[in-house]
Each structure stands twice: as C-alpha cells, then as structure tokens.
Amino acid sequence: MATEPLGAIARLTQELGKLPGIGPKTAERLTHHLVAAERQEVLALADALKAIKEAIRPCRQCYNLTEGDLCAICRDGRRDPTVICVVEQPRDLAALEKAGTYRGLYHVLGGRLAPLDNIGPEKLTVDGLLRRVKAGGVHEVIMATNPTLEGDGTALYVSNLLAGTGVRVTRLARGLPSGTVLEFANSQMLADALEGRRVF
C-alpha cells in the first residue's frame, strides 16, 4: 500500500525541521506562524528561498558566492590582488570581512580535506587556486583554514602544493584558540590573527 502524501502543513513542518538549530517544536511553531501570516509575506519568503538556488553561484575566480560572474570582492579594484586568503567556506570569508582589516582577495576551497569522509583534494577548489597562483602576480597566500585537525591538514596540503611557485605562504596567528571555528570567532580575534600571521 502506497503511503499517503503528506499534507501541506506536515510537509512544511518536515522541511523546516531539517534546518540546523530547528527542532520539531520550533518547526511546528514556524509552520503555524506562516499559515497565519499574510499571503504576501509568505510568498516573499518563498521567492527569497528560490532565489538563493537560482541566482547564487560560485565566483568564477575565488568561488565566493555571487549573483554575477565575479563576486563583489574580486570586482573591487581597490582590493590588493597580490594577496590571496584561503578559507574553507563562504561563511569564513564573511567572518574575515566583518573583521574589516583585510584588503586582499580570497579563495574559497569549498570545504576541508577529510579522508575519513572521502573528501579529497578533487572535491575542493585546490586546482583553481593553483591556477591563480601560477598565472602570476600573487605574492602571498594566507592559509586561513580553521584551526582544527582537518583544517590544519588542509593548510599543510595546500602549502606543499604551493611550494616551488615562489609565492610566500603564511598562516593566521594562533591567537585563535585551537578548535575555534572562524565563523564564530569575534572580529577583533580575527583581525589580530591576520595581523600576526606568520610564514607557514
């Protein structure tokens, strides 16, 4: 016997419950909030959800999120193109941007090496980074992966790949407590970590 398709309310509750930090109770509360909300408000939310999947894509150069070909940072002529800061995810880039002191460009790896989860270099944008460095004009690559076992392993892997290209490879200072994920570090900590970066 085929299972009955879920009703609209149960379906929304189920989808909301998949979001991080949203338990079944909250999912239910949000669902009832949306059922009671103005049609316009709910459609605006649906539109915004659709837009992040249809309009957002990775930047051609740095893999940051963008709605165009190049992201706003890569397009900004005031940024220093000789320095590339390598991060795991767009949210790490956002955290560093919030710190407000870094004026170079970025490269978003799209994750970190995790052999146990079968995430090898081919799943990251390592090739793109290598191409950018080999194209010339880059003087420094700052490894800003998270100070976790996998983040450190990724930084080491990438720095080995860059050895021989002549580029200076540095890493964030250990002002960040070990295990602190970049996106949760405060802006001053990140500014200090950038300021105190050292040669890898």
3-class SS at 173?
coil
CA distances from residue 135 to 63, 138, 179 in whole angstroms, order as listed = 17, 8, 34
Instruction: List the one residue out of 125, 17, 11 whose CA is nearest residue 65.
Output: 125
Q: How far is the CB of 106 from Zn ion (least distance, A)?
A: 7
Q: Rounded to the nearest whole angstrom, what is the least distance from the CB of residue 8 to Zn ion in the complex?
A: 39
Q: Which is nearer to Zn ion, 71 or 172 (CB)?
A: 71
Q: Which among 146, 142, 141, 143 is positioned nearest to 182, based on CA atoms?
A: 146
Using CB under 5 A, list all residues that contact Zn ion: 59, 61-62, 64, 71, 74
CB 126 within 8 A of CB 158: yes
Least separation in angstroms between residue 115's CB and Zn ion is 28
Distance, CA of 163 to CA of 167 (rounded, Å) = 8
Report the residue number, 15 or 67, with the smaller CB distance to Zn ion: 67
Please say which residue, 27 or 143, places its beta carbon nearer to Zn ion.
Answer: 143
CB of 93 to Zn ion, least distance (A): 9
Using the minimum distance from each CB to Zn ion, give the nearer residue, 62 or 85. Answer: 62
